[in-house]
Every structure is written in C-alpha cells, then in structure tokens.
Amino acid sequence: MDGVIIINKQKGFTSHDVVNVIRKKLNIKKVGHTGTLDPNATGVLPILVGKATKISKYLIEHNKTYIATIKLGEKTDTGDSEGQVIETKKVPKKLEKEEIEQVLTDFLGKQKQLPPIYSAIKVKGKKLYEYAREGQEVKIEPRDIEIYKIKLLEYKYNKIKIEVECSKGTYIRTLCEDISKKLETVGYMEELQRTKINEFKIENSLLLDDINIQNVEQKLIKIEEIFKEKNSIELNDKKLELFLNGVKLTYDLPNDIYKIYNNKCFVGIGIIENKLLKRDIVI
C-alpha cells in the first residue's frame, strides 16, 4: 500500500496523533504527513503511506485553501481561541458587508507577513513558542507570502467567516489579526478549517473513525497519480537495470521530474538535470 490518504482531521488531534492512529489501524510502519495542522484546526491533512513517504519533498510547496472564522473585539496572546484575552476593543457599529469586502481585497497579492510568536518557526535553533512561553523577546523576521483569493462568506454577531487561498508559509492567525486591525478593532482566529492543498480536497477525505483497509484502498491516491501532469520516460530492460543501480542516463529533455516506466509498468520517479536522468524514487 503506497500512496496518499487525505484525512479530514478533527479537533484535538495533532498531525503526529493522526499518523500514529493510521499506523496502528493499517499495521503499516511507514506513515508520515505533510502540511501540519494545529490541534485546534480541522480539515485536509495528507497522509503518506509506504513508499509515498519518499515524496513529501514534492508536496510541501503547494498552495492551500482555508475557511476561517474571525472573532472581532478581542485579541488573544496566541492569535486563536486557545490563548488568553490580552486586549478588547469595540467593533464599529456601522460595519457593513461592503466595507469588509473592500478591506479583504487589500490583502490580495504578494506581501510580507510577520509570523506569530506562538509558532514553530525556529530562530537560533529555538522555536518561537518556546521564547514566548519563557517570556523572552526575540526578533521575528517577516516572510514573503501571497494571497491568491479571499472571499467573505458570512458576517454576523461580530464574527466574520472568510475563505482564503494562499501560498505556503501563510499564517491565517496573523491574517485574521491584520484584517481586524484594518477594520479598526482587534480580533482572533476562532475557527480554522483547511479545505484544500493543491489537488487534495476535503470532499475526497476520510475521517479517522472510517480508517480501515477497504476504505483506504478505495481512497488511496497512488504515487503515479500524484505526478499525473508530468511527462514519462519508457526504459528498456537494460536501461532500467542501469537506472535502478543509480547510473545516470543521457536524455535530451528539459530539466524536470519524470515518471519512469518499463514495459508500460510504473517504476518510479526520475529527475533530468543537464540532460542526465538520475534515479529519485523507485516504487
């Protein structure tokens, strides 16, 4: 069983918890994840099973889509509902849907974003949340992100629900705080659901309670399918043997990732660099 399972993670589970549950339920040692989700967040968490654990490096740069609920009028030290309220501020009484939508458009495009202090980013070998818990000050550098789409889904009772499509490295907690500030108040991320990572969609996901061999076999995305948009190379038996032994083969093709076949059977993934094909992942 080699491939990707899309899990709809429930609240209260860490990404590592999900890996452990699946490892036990399927009795498979090689299980990993990509696209970490906080325990308080829900939604799409791709789980890599068997030899698919080798392809995690190809999945970390993907764009992501979230649905987030912002609670206006209160700010927490963590930027989400897990933290302590550290500031309150009135929400403008005449806040209208059109005004919120206009503010949201201001966040479209490439920009710098300051990661939250309660995050796992490392500075000088130490995670930011460790500095925060110890009450130590640390300089946080802004990071390049991009918001591709942002849409208002609902606004009522001082709560805003938005849908955001963004680049890797975007902190939705920070985005929620920044939106609140633009609306002349404060706020925090009350709820977060990830609905999509590239082509991994929540409608194709499984809940942990539904994990069994039969369900996983039906939903498993095979490695060959993950690279369906990549070109392929057919190797004869002699070239296959060389390829499997790590010998680089000459091919006058553009630098890229290629699916490798032998007698029309999928073998694995190869990479061409400077007209040389080298082995990457063998299935």
Task: Give the pLDDT confidence of 125-163 residue by residue, as tens digits.
Answer: 777 777 767 777 777 778 899 999 999 999 988 999 999
- Residue 90 scores a pLDDT above 90: yes
* Rounded average pLDDT over 58-76: 92
Weakest-pLDDT range from 75-79, 151-155, 192-196: 75-79
Q: Mean pLDDT, the chain, as a whole number?
A: 91
- Residue 59 scores a pLDDT above 90: no
Q: Which fold has domain 70-187?
A: Pseudouridine synthase (3.30.2350)
Domain boundaries along the sequence of the chain: 3-62+199-223, 70-187, 227-282
Same fold, 3-62+199-223 and 227-282: no
pLDDT band at 36 (very low <50, low <70, confident <90, very high): confident
CA distance 102 to 72: 17
- Residue 95 scores a pLDDT above 90: no
Find the catalytic residue in 38, 210, 252, 280: 38
Share of the chain above pLDDT 90, in %: 70
Report if pTM > 0.95.
no
pLDDT band at 268 (very low <50, low <70, confident <90, very high): very high
pLDDT of the residue at 61: 75
- Residue 258 scores a pLDDT above 90: yes
* Rounded average pLDDT over 200-213: 93
- The answer to whether the beta carbons of residues 272 and 260 sit under 8 Å apart is no
* Rounded average pLDDT over 63-73: 96
To 10 degrees, the CA torsion angle through 54, 55, 60, 65? -130
CA distance 190 to 185: 15
* Rounded average pLDDT over 76-81: 91
72-to-6, 65, 104, 168, 183 alpha-carbon distances in Å? 32, 22, 15, 26, 9
CA distance 192 to 12: 13
Say yes or no: domain 227-282 is CATH 2.30.130.10.
yes
For residue 54, give the 3-state DSSP assignment: helix
Class of domain 3-62+199-223: alpha beta
- Residue 238 scores a pLDDT above 90: yes
Examine the residue annotation and report whether 38 is marked as an active-site residue of this protein.
Answer: yes
